[in-house]
């Protein structure tokens, strides 16, 4: 009996600590529930599975554009087992990379839309430049989903950026306005000739010279083997006067040249080579004008 | 003839009308990027001729210097308008069937450019060389449609079985 009284007493204490309402509160409509009010609730349901990128469209070999950029378009598919709606449509990114080259990016590929219940497609444009190196470039794309928010990658694709041999030469003629037969080390009046590399060829420069003919007496020839070409100038005698001698109608490699592919707008010699011309020993010829207009211009080419 | 102490004028400055010569040629194959083809295979390679700098239309004169046994030029002169990069020179390359595996052929096309502009003195022009190797590897895929052959053989086999069964049935009667 005493034991039962103790249990009832403990129960009363517990009930007292859990319920603060008095016996008459029931009539005051205190129910123990929260007070009623209108609440706007937004629920976003995201899947726990990460997305994956099953495919990147093939990119055909691309020709660089002379002295300009080239926009390369492609797209990739991204899928999420939790449904297409779980794909983060702002997450598409891509880049092109190659060893020793500047990586080209697009950090905001455009979501093209739904492909099926679980997949969608991103469209990407990446700009390549004329000086970007020829060869195989790696294509890497990534994206994510709203649920797992795991960034997923695909770098299984490559493409070929072709070799562009392009140049702008300025000026396109060289002159010696008046030189005296028998004199030495006569440098051109209007050099250097600047060879701007408006492509991505990386190598050296060749020149094919052709004998000059007299404008009045065209049978008289000023041999091209009297001319030297050099990348250096200045000093006494002028540095270009010990340059590479040209050979008639023969492709000759000009020593120490470098096409130096790069951004011409950056200045500092990127993408440029300069050529200086000299006649080390002026031959004994009659007084008249000599020109290439009879037999053909000299041709500047890149080495193979 | 007058020689010593007389002037030789190599050019006259007034003839210097134009100042820039520009052009470009892009190729999908080059020295370090050879074309690998099967024996007996034919492929068309497009060389891209560009004239993006300056205002002068130019003419590319092409000469096939190496590789005439596996390719040819359909024409040797290509006019390219200023500001364009969409002119192509197609090279149809065909490797002989009897070439050895791994054997290499070389194609070399040389371009010179010319325009209608006038230059004085020593005129300079741009030239380009496209050279690449063609390496023979394996045989070209046969044109024989094996699926069609197998299906035909299966159909024939079924027909023979049906005829044999009919013949056997009649014989048993």
- Which of B146 and B33 is assigned the larger pLDDT? B33
Do A154 and A201 fall into the same domain?
A: no
CB contact under 8 A, A163 and B50: no
**A81 CB neighbour count, 10 Å cutoff:** 15
Q: How far apart are CA B93 and CA B37, in angstroms?
A: 9
Residues 69-128 of A with CB under 8 A from B: none
Do A136 and A199 fall into the same domain?
A: no
> Which residue from A64, A178, A284 is facing B26, i.e. has the nearest CB?
A64
Mean confidence (pLDDT) of chain A: 89
> Which residue from B1, B3, B26 is facing A163, i.e. has the nearest CB?
B26
Cα angle A168, A174, A180; round to 5: 165
Do B89 and B124 fall into the same domain?
A: yes
3-state DSSP call for residue A21?
coil
pLDDT of A78 strictly over 50: yes
Is A298 part of the contact surface with chain B (CB cutoff 8 Å)? yes
Q: How far apart are CA B36 and CA B102, in angstroms?
A: 9
CB contact under 8 A, A293 and B16: no
pLDDT above 90: percentage of residues in chain B: 60
pLDDT of A158 strictly over 50: yes
Between A119-128, A293-302, B5-14, B31-40, the lowest mean confidence (pLDDT) is in B5-14
Is the residue at B12 inside a domain? no
User: Which chain A residue is nearest to residue B6, measuring alpha carbons?
Assistant: A180
Is residue A284 a contact partner of residue A270, using CB atoms and an 8 Å limit?
A: no
CB contact under 8 A, A170 and B19: yes
Q: Which of B26, B11, B23, B17 is CA-nearest to residue B114?
A: B23
Chain B residues whose beta carbon lies within 8 Å of the beta carbon of residue A68 = 52
Is the residue at A11 inside a domain? no
Number of domain units in chain B = 2
Q: How far apart are CA A228 and CA A246, in angstroms?
A: 6
Do A190 and A282 fall into the same domain?
A: yes
Residues in CB range of A188: below 8 A, 6 or more apart:
A174, A175, A176, A276, A277, A278
Is the residue at A246 inside a domain? yes
User: How crowded is the C-beta side of A7, counted as CA atoms within 13 Å?
Assistant: 4
Is residue A221 a contact partner of residue A287, using CB atoms and an 8 Å limit?
A: no
Q: How far apart are CA A11 and CA A7, in angstroms?
A: 6
CB contact under 8 A, A180 and B4: yes
Do A248 and A187 fall into the same domain?
A: yes
Q: How far apart are CA B62 and CA B108, in angstroms?
A: 10
ipTM rounded to 2 decimals: 0.80
Do A65 and A140 fall into the same domain?
A: yes
Do B108 and B24 fall into the same domain?
A: yes
Distance from CA of A168 to the nearest CA of B (A): 4
Is the residue at B9 inside a domain? no
Q: How far apart are CA A98 and CA A104, in angstroms?
A: 9
Do A145 and A224 fall into the same domain?
A: no
- Sign of the dihedral through C-alpha A46, A49, A50, A55: negative
Q: How far apart are CA A262 and CA A196, in angstroms?
A: 10
Chain A residues whose beta carbon lies within 8 Å of the beta carbon of residue B24 = 66, 164-167, 198-199
CB contact under 8 A, A298 and B25: no
Residue A142 belongs to a domain with what CATH number? 2.60.40
- pTM recorded for the entire structure: 0.81
CB contact under 8 A, B11 and A289: yes
**How does pLDDT run across B69-113, given as a tens digit for each residue?**
999 999 999 999 999 999 999 999 999 999 999 999 999 999 999
**A83 CB neighbour count, 10 Å cutoff:** 18
- Mean pLDDT (whole number) for A254-270: 96
Between A138-147, B13-22, B45-54, B132-141, the lowest mean confidence (pLDDT) is in B13-22
3-state DSSP call for residue A46?
coil
3-state DSSP call for residue B147?
helix
Q: Residue B129 sits in which domain range?
A: 19-139
CB contact under 8 A, B7 and A180: yes
Q: Residue A270 sits in which domain range?
A: 167-302
Give the mutation candidate from B121, B128, B129, B133 for the A interface (greatest A CB count, under 10 A).
B121
Do B79 and B151 fall into the same domain?
A: no
Distance from CA of B82 to the nearest CA of A (A): 12
Is the residue at A83 inside a domain? yes
Give the mutation candidate from B32, B55, B122 for the A interface (greatest A CB count, under 10 A).
B122
Of the residues A118, A143, A161, the one at which a domain ends? A161
Is A58 part of the contact surface with chain B (CB cutoff 8 Å)? no
Q: How far apart are CA B64 and CA B22, in angstroms?
A: 22
CB contact under 8 A, A171 and B19: yes
pLDDT tier at A9 (50, 70, 90 boundaries)?
A: low
Do A229 and A130 fall into the same domain?
A: no
Do B64 and B122 fall into the same domain?
A: yes
Number of domain units in chain A = 2
> Which residue from B18, B20, B24 is facing A199, i.e. has the nearest CB?
B24
3-state DSSP call for residue A264?
helix
Is A304 part of the contact surface with chain B (CB cutoff 8 Å)? yes
**B126 CB neighbour count, 10 Å cutoff:** 27
Of the residues A161, A193, A218, the one at which a domain ends? A161
Q: How far apart are CA B16 and CA A50, in angstroms?
A: 67
């Amino acid at each position: 009996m005493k034991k039962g009284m103790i249990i009832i007493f403990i129960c009363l204490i517990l009930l007292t600590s859990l319920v603060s309402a008095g016996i008459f509160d029931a009539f005051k409509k205190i129910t123990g529930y929260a007070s009623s009010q209108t609440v706007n609730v937004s629920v976003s349901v995201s899947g726990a599975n990460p997305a994956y990128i099953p495919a990147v469209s093939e990119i055909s070999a691309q020709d660089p554009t002379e002295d300009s950029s080239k926009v390369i378009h492609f797209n990739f598919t991204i899928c999420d087992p939790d449904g297409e709606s779980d794909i983060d449509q702002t997450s598409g990114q891509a880049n092109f990379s190659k060893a020793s080259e500047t990586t080209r990016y697009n950090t905001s590929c455009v979501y093209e839309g739904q492909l099926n219940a679980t997949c969608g497609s991103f469209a990407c444009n990446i700009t390549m430049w004329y000086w970007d190196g020829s060869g195989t470039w790696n294509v890497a794309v990534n994206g994510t989903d709203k649920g797992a928010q795991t960034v997923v990658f695909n770098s299984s694709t490559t493409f070929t950026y072709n070799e562009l041999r392009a140049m702008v030469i300025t000026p396109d003629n060289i002159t010696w306005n008046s030189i005296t037969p028998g004199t030495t080390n006569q440098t051109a009046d209007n050099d250097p000739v600047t060879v701007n590399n408006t492509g991505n060829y990386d190598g050296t420069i060749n020149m094919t010279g052709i004998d000059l003919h007299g404008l009045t007496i065209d049978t008289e020839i000023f041999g091209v083997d009297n001319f030297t070409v050099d990348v250096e100038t200045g000093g006494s005698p002028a540095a270009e006067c010990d340059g590479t001698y040209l050979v008639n109608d023969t492709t000759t490699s000009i020593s120490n040249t470098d096409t130096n592919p790069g951004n011409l707008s950056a200045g500092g010699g990127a993408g440029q080579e300069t050529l200086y011309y000299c006649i080390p020993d002026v031959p004994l010829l009659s007084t008249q004008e000599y020109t290439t207009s009879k037999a053909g211009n000299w041709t500047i080419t890149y080495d193979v | 003839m007058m020689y010593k102490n007389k002037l030789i004028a190599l050019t006259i400055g007034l003839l210097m009308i134009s100042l820039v010569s520009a052009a470009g040629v892009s190729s999908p194959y080059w020295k370090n990027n050879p074309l690998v083809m099967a024996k007996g295979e034919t492929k068309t390679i497009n060389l891209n001729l560009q004239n993006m700098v300056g205002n002068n239309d130019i003419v590319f004169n092409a000469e096939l210097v190496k590789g005439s046994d596996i390719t040819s030029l359909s024409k040797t002169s290509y006019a390219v308008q200023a500001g364009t990069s969409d002119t192509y020179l197609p090279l149809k390359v065909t490797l002989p069937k009897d070439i050895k595996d791994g054997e290499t052929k070389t194609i070399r096309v040389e371009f010179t450019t010319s325009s209608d502009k006038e230059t004085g003195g020593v005129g300079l022009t741009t030239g380009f060389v496209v050279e690449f190797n063609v390496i023979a590897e394996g045989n070209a895929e046969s044109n024989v449609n094996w699926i069609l052959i197998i299906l035909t053989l299966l159909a024939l086999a079924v027909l023979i079985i049906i005829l044999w069964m009919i013949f056997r049935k009649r014989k048993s009667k």
